[in-house]
Amino acid sequence: MATAISPNDSFYAADDDMRLEVFCLIWLDANSNAKDTRDTEQKLRSIINHLKKFQDVKKCQKFIEERSKNDRITIIVSGQFGQEIVPAIHKLRQVISIYVYCFDIVRNKQWSDKYTKVKGVVNKLDDLITRIKADYRIQKIVEEPLSINIFTTGGSSTTGVNGQFVFSQVLIDCLLRLKPTKADKKELIDRCKQLYQGNQYELSKIHDFRQEYSPEKALWWYTRQSFFYKTLNAALRKQNIHFIFLFRGFISDIHRQLKANLAEDTLRAYR
Protein backbone atom coordinates (compact mmCIF):
# COMPACT_ATOMS: atom_id res chain seq x y z
CA MET A 1 0.00 0.00 0.00
CA ALA A 2 1.25 3.49 -0.76
CA THR A 3 1.35 5.08 2.67
CA ALA A 4 3.24 2.68 4.79
CA ILE A 5 6.84 2.92 5.76
CA SER A 6 10.25 4.48 5.46
CA PRO A 7 12.91 3.00 3.16
CA ASN A 8 14.80 1.01 5.79
CA ASP A 9 13.75 -1.76 8.14
CA SER A 10 14.20 -0.10 11.52
CA PHE A 11 12.78 0.42 14.97
CA TYR A 12 10.74 3.54 15.29
CA ALA A 13 10.57 3.02 19.01
CA ALA A 14 13.00 1.97 21.72
CA ASP A 15 15.32 -1.01 21.35
CA ASP A 16 14.06 -4.41 22.44
CA ASP A 17 16.40 -4.38 25.43
CA MET A 18 14.61 -1.32 26.81
CA ARG A 19 11.09 -2.26 25.81
CA LEU A 20 8.77 -3.11 28.68
CA GLU A 21 5.36 -3.42 27.03
CA VAL A 22 4.30 -6.81 25.67
CA PHE A 23 2.43 -5.34 22.69
CA CYS A 24 4.23 -4.70 19.42
CA LEU A 25 2.95 -3.32 16.11
CA ILE A 26 4.58 -4.46 12.86
CA TRP A 27 4.05 -2.75 9.52
CA LEU A 28 5.13 -4.74 6.45
CA ASP A 29 4.89 -2.92 3.11
CA ALA A 30 7.13 -2.54 0.07
CA ASN A 31 6.18 1.03 -0.79
CA SER A 32 8.01 3.81 1.00
CA ASN A 33 6.84 6.84 -1.02
CA ALA A 34 4.44 8.25 1.54
CA LYS A 35 3.55 11.85 2.35
CA ASP A 36 1.43 11.16 5.43
CA THR A 37 3.62 8.48 7.00
CA ARG A 38 4.69 10.59 9.96
CA ASP A 39 1.16 11.50 11.00
CA THR A 40 -0.02 7.91 10.57
CA GLU A 41 2.83 6.53 12.67
CA GLN A 42 2.08 9.00 15.46
CA LYS A 43 -1.56 7.90 15.53
CA LEU A 44 -0.57 4.23 15.59
CA ARG A 45 2.02 4.77 18.33
CA SER A 46 -0.59 6.52 20.45
CA ILE A 47 -2.24 3.07 20.53
CA ILE A 48 0.79 0.73 20.60
CA ASN A 49 4.09 2.46 21.25
CA HIS A 50 6.45 -0.18 19.89
CA LEU A 51 6.32 0.12 16.09
CA LYS A 52 8.59 -1.94 13.85
CA LYS A 53 8.62 -1.47 10.07
CA PHE A 54 9.73 -3.90 7.36
CA GLN A 55 10.02 -3.97 3.61
CA ASP A 56 11.31 -7.54 3.41
CA VAL A 57 9.02 -10.51 4.08
CA LYS A 58 11.77 -12.90 5.20
CA LYS A 59 13.25 -10.43 7.69
CA CYS A 60 9.80 -9.69 9.03
CA GLN A 61 8.95 -13.37 9.42
CA LYS A 62 12.26 -14.05 11.18
CA PHE A 63 11.64 -11.19 13.61
CA ILE A 64 8.15 -12.48 14.44
CA GLU A 65 9.27 -16.08 14.90
CA GLU A 66 12.05 -15.02 17.28
CA ARG A 67 9.70 -13.08 19.56
CA SER A 68 8.75 -14.55 22.91
CA LYS A 69 5.43 -16.39 23.08
CA ASN A 70 4.54 -13.90 25.82
CA ASP A 71 4.74 -11.02 23.34
CA ARG A 72 1.58 -9.88 21.58
CA ILE A 73 2.04 -8.79 17.97
CA THR A 74 -0.35 -6.87 15.74
CA ILE A 75 0.54 -6.83 12.04
CA ILE A 76 -0.36 -4.40 9.26
CA VAL A 77 0.49 -5.86 5.87
CA SER A 78 -0.06 -5.05 2.22
CA GLY A 79 -2.18 -7.39 0.12
CA GLN A 80 0.76 -8.73 -1.86
CA PHE A 81 2.98 -9.40 1.16
CA GLY A 82 0.01 -10.65 3.15
CA GLN A 83 -0.56 -13.59 0.83
CA GLU A 84 3.05 -14.61 1.38
CA ILE A 85 3.54 -14.10 5.12
CA VAL A 86 0.12 -14.73 6.70
CA PRO A 87 0.08 -18.52 6.04
CA ALA A 88 3.55 -18.77 7.63
CA ILE A 89 2.89 -16.84 10.85
CA HIS A 90 -0.85 -17.20 11.42
CA LYS A 91 -0.57 -20.04 13.95
CA LEU A 92 2.14 -18.40 16.08
CA ARG A 93 0.93 -17.66 19.61
CA GLN A 94 2.52 -14.22 19.71
CA VAL A 95 0.53 -13.04 16.67
CA ILE A 96 -2.90 -11.87 17.86
CA SER A 97 -4.25 -9.80 14.97
CA ILE A 98 -3.55 -9.00 11.32
CA TYR A 99 -4.86 -6.12 9.22
CA VAL A 100 -4.55 -6.08 5.44
CA TYR A 101 -4.12 -2.53 4.14
CA CYS A 102 -4.62 -2.59 0.39
CA PHE A 103 -6.24 -1.05 -2.68
CA ASP A 104 -8.42 -4.01 -3.70
CA ILE A 105 -10.57 -5.10 -0.74
CA VAL A 106 -12.62 -7.69 -2.64
CA ARG A 107 -9.59 -9.47 -4.06
CA ASN A 108 -7.73 -9.59 -0.74
CA LYS A 109 -10.75 -10.75 1.22
CA GLN A 110 -10.86 -13.82 -1.00
CA TRP A 111 -7.58 -15.20 0.32
CA SER A 112 -7.71 -13.69 3.84
CA ASP A 113 -11.20 -14.82 4.89
CA LYS A 114 -9.95 -18.27 5.90
CA TYR A 115 -7.52 -16.80 8.46
CA THR A 116 -9.27 -16.00 11.74
CA LYS A 117 -6.56 -13.63 12.96
CA VAL A 118 -7.14 -11.32 10.00
CA LYS A 119 -9.39 -8.79 11.71
CA GLY A 120 -9.91 -6.47 8.79
CA VAL A 121 -9.18 -5.70 5.14
CA VAL A 122 -9.24 -1.93 4.60
CA ASN A 123 -8.15 0.66 2.06
CA LYS A 124 -8.37 3.81 4.19
CA LEU A 125 -5.93 4.82 6.90
CA ASP A 126 -8.63 6.24 9.15
CA ASP A 127 -10.52 2.95 9.02
CA LEU A 128 -7.31 1.05 9.77
CA ILE A 129 -6.47 3.15 12.82
CA THR A 130 -10.03 3.08 14.14
CA ARG A 131 -10.20 -0.72 13.86
CA ILE A 132 -6.82 -1.29 15.53
CA LYS A 133 -7.73 1.08 18.36
CA ALA A 134 -11.08 -0.60 19.00
CA ASP A 135 -9.61 -4.11 18.96
CA TYR A 136 -6.68 -3.10 21.17
CA ARG A 137 -9.03 -1.95 23.94
CA ILE A 138 -10.22 -5.55 24.23
CA GLN A 139 -6.87 -7.20 23.56
CA LYS A 140 -5.03 -5.38 26.33
CA ILE A 141 -7.59 -6.69 28.85
CA VAL A 142 -7.58 -10.25 27.54
CA GLU A 143 -3.95 -10.65 26.53
CA GLU A 144 -1.96 -8.58 29.01
CA PRO A 145 -0.95 -10.77 31.97
CA LEU A 146 -1.25 -9.77 35.62
CA SER A 147 1.09 -6.97 36.65
CA ILE A 148 2.80 -9.19 39.18
CA ASN A 149 2.09 -12.88 39.63
CA ILE A 150 2.30 -13.73 43.32
CA PHE A 151 0.46 -17.03 42.97
CA THR A 152 2.99 -18.94 40.91
CA THR A 153 3.72 -22.43 42.19
CA GLY A 154 7.41 -22.11 41.37
CA GLY A 155 9.92 -21.24 44.05
CA SER A 156 8.13 -22.83 47.01
CA SER A 157 10.30 -23.76 49.97
CA THR A 158 10.40 -27.13 51.73
CA THR A 159 7.90 -25.73 54.24
CA GLY A 160 5.39 -25.06 51.48
CA VAL A 161 5.78 -21.27 51.59
CA ASN A 162 5.38 -19.60 48.21
CA GLY A 163 8.71 -17.86 47.71
CA GLN A 164 7.37 -15.57 45.01
CA PHE A 165 4.58 -14.39 47.31
CA VAL A 166 6.99 -13.70 50.17
CA PHE A 167 9.35 -11.85 47.82
CA SER A 168 6.55 -9.64 46.51
CA GLN A 169 5.40 -8.76 50.04
CA VAL A 170 8.92 -7.91 51.19
CA LEU A 171 9.51 -5.87 48.04
CA ILE A 172 6.31 -3.86 48.51
CA ASP A 173 7.12 -3.26 52.18
CA CYS A 174 10.60 -1.99 51.29
CA LEU A 175 9.26 0.26 48.54
CA LEU A 176 6.78 1.86 50.92
CA ARG A 177 9.52 2.53 53.48
CA LEU A 178 12.11 4.00 51.12
CA LYS A 179 11.78 7.73 50.52
CA PRO A 180 11.99 8.90 46.90
CA THR A 181 14.37 11.60 45.72
CA LYS A 182 14.22 14.25 43.01
CA ALA A 183 17.05 12.45 41.24
CA ASP A 184 14.92 9.28 41.03
CA LYS A 185 12.02 11.18 39.50
CA LYS A 186 14.33 12.80 36.97
CA GLU A 187 15.86 9.44 36.00
CA LEU A 188 12.41 7.87 35.64
CA ILE A 189 11.24 10.68 33.37
CA ASP A 190 14.44 10.51 31.31
CA ARG A 191 14.04 6.76 30.86
CA CYS A 192 10.40 7.13 29.88
CA LYS A 193 11.42 9.72 27.30
CA GLN A 194 13.82 7.16 25.86
CA LEU A 195 11.15 4.46 25.79
CA TYR A 196 8.70 6.76 24.01
CA GLN A 197 11.20 8.57 21.81
CA GLY A 198 9.46 9.95 18.73
CA ASN A 199 5.99 9.30 20.21
CA GLN A 200 4.69 12.86 20.52
CA TYR A 201 1.41 11.67 22.04
CA GLU A 202 3.13 10.10 25.05
CA LEU A 203 5.96 12.65 25.25
CA SER A 204 3.39 15.40 25.77
CA LYS A 205 1.92 13.41 28.67
CA ILE A 206 5.38 12.87 30.14
CA HIS A 207 5.87 16.64 30.00
CA ASP A 208 2.52 17.18 31.76
CA PHE A 209 3.47 14.58 34.35
CA ARG A 210 6.76 16.30 35.11
CA GLN A 211 5.05 19.67 35.49
CA GLU A 212 1.77 18.75 37.18
CA TYR A 213 2.13 15.53 39.18
CA SER A 214 1.21 15.65 42.87
CA PRO A 215 0.67 12.82 45.40
CA GLU A 216 -3.05 13.61 45.52
CA LYS A 217 -3.33 12.81 41.80
CA ALA A 218 -1.53 9.44 41.89
CA LEU A 219 -4.66 7.37 41.19
CA TRP A 220 -5.77 9.81 38.52
CA TRP A 221 -2.48 9.34 36.70
CA TYR A 222 -2.54 5.56 37.17
CA THR A 223 -6.05 5.22 35.72
CA ARG A 224 -5.30 7.56 32.83
CA GLN A 225 -4.58 6.05 29.41
CA SER A 226 -0.91 7.01 29.31
CA PHE A 227 2.73 5.99 29.69
CA PHE A 228 2.42 6.01 33.50
CA TYR A 229 0.26 2.94 34.00
CA LYS A 230 1.75 1.17 30.95
CA THR A 231 5.31 1.52 32.22
CA LEU A 232 4.51 0.79 35.88
CA ASN A 233 2.47 -2.32 35.03
CA ALA A 234 5.15 -3.55 32.64
CA ALA A 235 7.91 -3.03 35.22
CA LEU A 236 5.93 -5.02 37.80
CA ARG A 237 5.05 -7.75 35.32
CA LYS A 238 8.64 -8.20 34.15
CA GLN A 239 9.93 -7.65 37.70
CA ASN A 240 12.31 -4.97 36.48
CA ILE A 241 13.68 -4.06 39.90
CA HIS A 242 15.40 -0.87 38.82
CA PHE A 243 12.27 0.55 37.22
CA ILE A 244 10.18 -0.53 40.21
CA PHE A 245 12.69 1.22 42.48
CA LEU A 246 12.34 4.43 40.47
CA PHE A 247 8.54 4.16 40.74
CA ARG A 248 8.60 3.60 44.52
CA GLY A 249 7.47 7.13 45.43
CA PHE A 250 4.49 6.90 43.11
CA ILE A 251 3.64 3.40 44.37
CA SER A 252 3.60 4.85 47.90
CA ASP A 253 1.31 7.66 46.75
CA ILE A 254 -1.09 5.15 45.17
CA HIS A 255 -0.99 3.04 48.34
CA ARG A 256 -1.86 6.05 50.53
CA GLN A 257 -4.73 7.09 48.27
CA LEU A 258 -6.17 3.58 48.24
CA LYS A 259 -6.02 3.42 52.04
CA ALA A 260 -7.65 6.83 52.35
CA ASN A 261 -10.50 5.77 50.07
CA LEU A 262 -10.98 2.32 51.59
CA ALA A 263 -14.67 1.55 52.10
CA GLU A 264 -15.63 1.19 55.76
CA ASP A 265 -18.70 -0.93 55.06
CA THR A 266 -19.13 -4.05 52.97
CA LEU A 267 -20.11 -3.31 49.39
CA ARG A 268 -22.15 -5.60 47.18
CA ALA A 269 -21.29 -5.52 43.48
CA TYR A 270 -23.46 -6.82 40.66
CA ARG A 271 -22.40 -7.95 37.20
Distances (CA, A) of 26 to 59, 62, 270: 12, 12, 40
Q: Pairing mode, if any, of strands 51-54 and 23-28?
A: parallel
Q: Could you tell me the residue ranges of all domains in the chain?
A: 10-143, 163-260
Q: Pairing mode, if any, of strands 95-101 and 118-122?
A: parallel
Q: 22: which residues sit within 8 A by CB, 6+ positions away?
A: 70, 71, 72, 143, 144, 145, 234, 237
Instruction: Tell me if 149 sits within 8 A of 168, measured CB to CB.
Output: no
Tens-of-pLDDT digits for all 271 residues of the chain? 544 444 444 434 444 545 677 899 999 998 744 666 678 888 999 999 999 999 999 999 999 999 988 889 999 999 999 999 999 999 999 999 999 999 999 999 999 999 999 999 999 999 999 999 999 988 887 776 555 554 444 555 445 555 666 666 666 777 777 788 889 899 999 999 999 998 999 999 999 999 999 999 999 999 988 899 888 888 887 778 888 889 989 989 998 998 888 777 776 766 5
Is the whole model's pTM more than 0.85, yes or no?
A: no
Residue 2 is inside which H or E element, if any?
A: none
Q: Mention the CATH class of domain 10-143.
A: alpha beta
User: Which DSSP string corresponds to 144-187?
Assistant: SPPSS----STTB-TT--BHHHHHHHHHHHHHHHSPP-HHHHHH
Amino acid 230: pLDDT: 87
Other C-beta atoms lying within 10 Å of the C-beta of residue 162: 16
Q: 267: which residues sit within 8 A by CB, 6+ positions away?
A: none
Task: Look at residues 26, 31, 35, 21 and name the one whose alpha carbon lies nearest to residue 59.
Answer: 26
